Structure 1
C-alpha cells in the first residue's frame, strides 16, 4: 500500500453519472490516505463528488472511506456477502479479476483516459493482457539520508553498496543509533526486500514472470547485506526482523537514523521534526540501482450491479488531470497518468516530489497480477528477517521462500 491511516466515514447524496441514467446510485469504497480527520480522504471525495454533482444530477455516489487497516477486508466481506460495491479503491485486484467479478478497464473508461495511464502502472493492472486494475495512486522509493549527520561525519551521499557500508561505519563511529535502518519486520518487509533485490539486479520474478526469489542475484544481495551491515552492527538496536517501516520512519524523523529507503510521506515527517535530509537513487552493487520499487494502489469496478456506463463516466472525471494532481499533492503521492506527471515534473510547487517522479519510469512493481502474490507477500513478511539473523544462511531462507512461492503459484 502507498499509505496507511484514517477513519471510516460515509458521504451520500452526491450527484454523479451520465445523461440518460435515471435514479442510479453508485457505491464507492475508498481507502484513507490521511492521518487525521482534517486530512482524511473523506474531505477529498466529498469535494470531488460535490464538484461533479452540479453537472450530473442523474446519479448519486455514496462513498465509504475506511482506513488501510480495514478497507481490503471490508471489500472482501461485502463481495463474499453478495453485496459488492460498484467501485472499490483498494490495495489489490487480481483475486477479483480471477473470479470474473470485475469490469475490464476498456468496458468503462474513454480511450483517452485509459491511454493516459503511466505505462508501467497500466501493465501491472493486467491479467493475461487485459487491464482490470486501474492505478489510482503511486509512489517510488529513494534513499533518504540525514544531511546533518552526514556533514558531521564528513560524508557525501552514497552511490553504491560499498559507499553505503563505509558511510554506515562512519556514522556508527559518531554514535548514530541507526546508521542504516533495515525494516524487515512484518509490517512492510516485502518493500525493503524488493529494494535490495532490485539494487542487486534481481527481483521477485524473472523475465518470464516466474518467481525467482532464490536467484543468484537475490542471494548475493542478502548475503552482502547480512555480512556487511547486519553482522557489523550497522543497522541499529532493533533486530531487522522486528523493525517495522513505521518505526524506522519515526526514528528518522527524530534524527536517530543516518540512512534508510523511504517514500514521499517521509518528507513531511522529517520536515515537521526539523530534520534536514537529502535524497538520492537507491545505491546498487556497483553504482546507483538501475531500478527502484514502485507501488500503486488500485481502482476496481465490480460487475455485480451492472452500472458500467455510470461508473465509467465517473471514473473519467476522477482521472481528469486537475483531480489527479489535487489528490497527489494532498498526500505527497505521484500521479498515475502521463499528462498529470508531465505537469508535476514542470511545476515549481512539486519539485520536492521530482526525485520520486524521476524514478517512476524505471520502477518495478510487485507482481500484483499474480493471484498468488498476497500469500507470497505474507510469507515474505513473516520469514525474510531470518535471512539476516545471526548465524543464518541467507540462501537457505530464500530457497524456503521460493518453495512456498511456487506452491502458492500452483495452488492459484
Structure 2
C-alpha cells in the first residue's frame, strides 16, 4: 500500500473537517484530549506479537507509561500487517502515539507523511551510532531512533575447520575465505551455507558481499558488483556452497549448518540461542570484505517513531515514552530480550562486559549500514527486487553475473 505525503495529510484534513461539520466528539481512539500532556491513554503499536502481557517487554511499556503519568495501551502486530495498519490509521487521523517499525519501513512511512521528525518531538538521538541512525534519515531529517540492531556474521564449526587444518583467524578477505572452503571440501566436508532465496531475505544476505566489494546500490552492474556475484556463483560451481542456497531461507540455511557438516554459515545474532543447542563447538567471525576488514552488513532491527497527531500537545508525553524505551538501562534489557546489539556505544560496552561472545557482533554492527541509507529511502525496494532476481539467475546458471546485473540495473532505473 503506497500513499503520498500529501494524500495522507489531505485525507486527515478532510476527516477532521467532516468531524467539525458533524459535531463529532473527541475520543481517546485518535489521540485523547486535545493538548493533553499528562494523564489519559497513549497507544503503542509494535511488531512483537510473540510477547504477551507477562513478558518483560510489555511490562517495560507499562512502566514507561506509569513514569510518564499515563496509561499505555499496547498492540503487537506482524511486521507486514503493522505497516499497512499504520498507513491506514494515518489516513483516518487515528495513528498510535508511538509506533515501533522495522527500519526499512521508516522511509516508506516518512515519505507518506505518517511520521514526525525527531526534532518535532524533541527526541534526543545524539548518543546513537550514526550508521544505525542513517536507516531512519531521509532528506536530512531523522524520523525515529533505533531500539537496537541485528546483523550478519559467519558462524563456523570448530571441528570441521580443525579437520581441514583451517585456522578461523586466517580468514581475512575473500581470497582467504575461498582458500579455507577449498581445504574443507578436500577434507570431505561441506563449505558454506547461506540464503539466496528470491526475496528480501536473499538480498539481505547478499548485501555484505555486495557492499564488501565496494559496490553501490545505485549502480547494480558495476565491476565491483559483478565481482560479488561472481564470488557466490564460483562457490556453487566449485561445490563450496550447496545448490540449496537458491531456496534457502535464513532458517533453513541455519538448519543445514546445525547438521554439523558445514564449515561456515552466514547468519545473524538471532541464531545465538540455537547455536548453543547444536551440540558442537562453534565460533563467529565478521564477514570479510573483498580486500580485508569487516564488510558492511545490513542492519535489521526496529525504530521507535512518533506518528503525526492532529493534537500536537500529545508529543510531550510521546517523547517521554520514547526516551524511556530507548534509555541506556532499558535498552540493555530490551536488546538482550530481542537478541539485538544496542544502538549506542555505552550500552554496547555493557553488553560485551556481560557477554564477551557479543564482541564480534558489536564489531559487525559498527561496520553495518541500513538498507535505505545513503538517502535511498523508498528507492530501496525498487533496487532490491532486481538484485535478488539477478543473483537467482546467475546462481541457477541462466545468466552470467555480468548479464544478470546488467538486466537488474535496467530494471531498477525504470
TM-score, scaled relative to structure 2: 0.82
Cα 1:22/1:164, change in 2 over 3 Å: closer
Corresponding residue SS for 1:272 = coil
Deviates more, 1:392-401 or 1:133-142: 133-142
1:24 counterpart = 2:37: no
Report the Cα offset of residue 241 of structure 1: 2.2
Residue in structure 1 matched with residue 9 of structure 2 by the alignment? none
Q: Does 1:75 align with 2:86?
A: yes
- 8 Å contact 2:390–2:401 — kept in the other structure? no
CA pair 75-55 structure 1, distance change in 2 beyond 3 A: closer
- What SS class does the counterpart of residue 295 from structure 1 fall into? coil
Q: 1:234 aligns with which of 235, 240, 246?
A: 240
1:123 to 113, 134, 138: 134
Q: Does 1:88 align with 2:93?
A: no
Asked whether the equivalents of residues 180 and 257 of structure 1 are also in contact (C-alpha less than 8 Å), the reply is: yes
Deviations 1:275-320 (A, max 9, x none): 3211122133233345343334222211135321111111111111
Q: 217, 221, 224: which is aligned to 1:217?
A: 224
Q: Number of paired residues?
A: 374
**2:45 alignment partner, SS class:** strand
Contact map agreement 1:31 1:68 (CA 8 A) in 2: yes
User: Residue by residue, what CA displacement relative to the aligned partner does 1:188-216 show, whole Å, maximum 9, x if unpaired?
Assistant: 11112111112222242xxxxxx122111
In the other structure, the counterpart of 1:179 is 191
TM-score (norm 1): 0.82
Where does 1:58-207 land on structure 2 (aligned, <5 Å)? Answer: 59-68=70-79, 70-80=81-91, 82-91=93-102, 92-110=105-123, 113-157=124-168, 158-176=171-189, 178-187=190-199, 188-204=201-217
Query: Post-superposition shift, 1:48?
Result: 0.7
Structure 2 residue runs without a partner (length 5+): 1-34
- 1:391 Cα offset (Å): 5.1
Structure 1 unaligned spans of 5+: 1-18, 205-210, 408-412
**What RMSD in Å do the two structures reach over aligned CA positions?**
2.7
Q: Deviations over 1:129-179 (max 9, x none)?
A: 110132122023222111111112211112222222222223233443x41
Q: Distance in 2 between matches of 1:41 and 1:88?
A: 18
Which structure: greater strand fraction? Answer: 1
Within-5 A mapping of 1:247-262:
247-262=252-267
Residue 231 of structure 1, CA deviation: 1.0
Query: Which has more radius of gyration?
Result: 2
Runs of 4+ in 1 over 6 A off after TM superposition: none
Mapping for residues 385-396 of structure 1, pairs under 5 Å: 385-390=392-397, 392-396=399-403
Alpha-carbon distance in structure 2 between the residues aligned to 1:273 and 1:404: 42
